[in-house]
Amino acid sequence: MWQAITLLKPISPEQPSGSDLSFSRDFDAIAEARRFDDPSIEQGEWQTDLKEANWSEVIKLTSILLEQQSKDLRLAVWLSEASTYQHGFAGLAQGCELIAGLCEQFWETLYPEAEDGDQERRTGNISWIVKRAEQLIRTIPLTEGRGTSYSYADILDARNRAQHNTPRTDNSQPIVTQDIIEQARRKSSYSFYQQLLSDAQQCTAAINHLQTAVDARLGMEGPGFAALRQSLDDVMHTLNRFANDQGVSNQKIITTEIGEPMPETPTPPTRAGINSRAQAISQLREVARYFRETEPHSPVAYLADKAAQWGNLPLDEWLRTVIKDKASLSHIEELLGLDSQTDTEAR
What digits encode the pLDDT tens for the residues 50-67?
Answer: 778 999 999 999 999 999
Residues 6+ positions from 147 with CB-CB distance below 8 Å: none
> What single letter denotes the amino acid at residue 65?
L
pLDDT of residue 270: 46
Question: What are 223-250's pLDDT values in tens digits?
Answer: 999 999 999 999 999 999 999 999 997 6
What is d(CA 81, CA 78) in angstroms, rounded to the nearest whole number?
Answer: 5
pLDDT of residue 342: 44
What is d(CA 59, CA 288) in angstroms, rounded to the nearest whole number?
Answer: 33
pLDDT of residue 45: 56
**Are 74 and 122 spatial neighbours (Cβ–Cβ below 8 Å)?**
no
> What single letter denotes the amino acid at residue 181?
I
Alpha-helical (H) ranges within 166-276 are 178-187, 190-218, 226-245
Backbone region of residue 154 per phi and psi (left: phi > 0; alpha: psi in -120 to 50; beta: other values): alpha
pLDDT of residue 209: 96
pLDDT of residue 332: 78
Residues 6+ positions from 213 with CB-CB distance below 8 Å: 99, 100, 101, 103, 104
Beta bridge partners of 115: 118
pLDDT of residue 166: 62
Residues 6+ positions from 111 with CB-CB distance below 8 Å: 17, 20, 21, 22, 70, 71, 72, 73, 74
Beta bridge partners of 111: 72
pLDDT of residue 252: 43
pLDDT of residue 267: 43
Indicate the length of the chain as a whole number.
347
Give SS3 for 269.
coil
Say what angle helices 226-245 and 120-137 make with each other, to 10 degrees: 30
pLDDT of residue 260: 42
In the chain, what are the domain boundaries?
4-38+49-165+174-262+286-312, 313-347
Say what angle helices 226-245 and 152-164 make with each other, to 10 degrees: 80
pLDDT of residue 9: 96
What is d(CA 347, CA 229) in angstroms, rounded to the nearest whole number?
Answer: 45
> What single letter denotes the amino acid at residue 117?
G
Residues 6+ positions from 98 with CB-CB distance below 8 Å: 4, 7, 8, 66, 76, 79, 80
- pLDDT beneath 70: ranges in the chain: 38-49, 166-173, 250-273, 275-276, 278-279, 292-298, 312, 322, 324, 338-347
> What single letter denotes the amino acid at residue 191?
S
Strand (E) or helix (H) holding 346? helix 338-346
Query: The whole model's pTM is what?
Result: 0.71
What is d(CA 257, CA 227) in angstroms, rounded to the nearest whole number?
Answer: 26
Number of H helices, E strands in the chain: 13, 0
| Direct distance between the N- and C-terminal alpha carbons of the chain, in angstroms, rounded to an integer | 59
**Are 162 and 55 spatial neighbours (Cβ–Cβ below 8 Å)?**
no
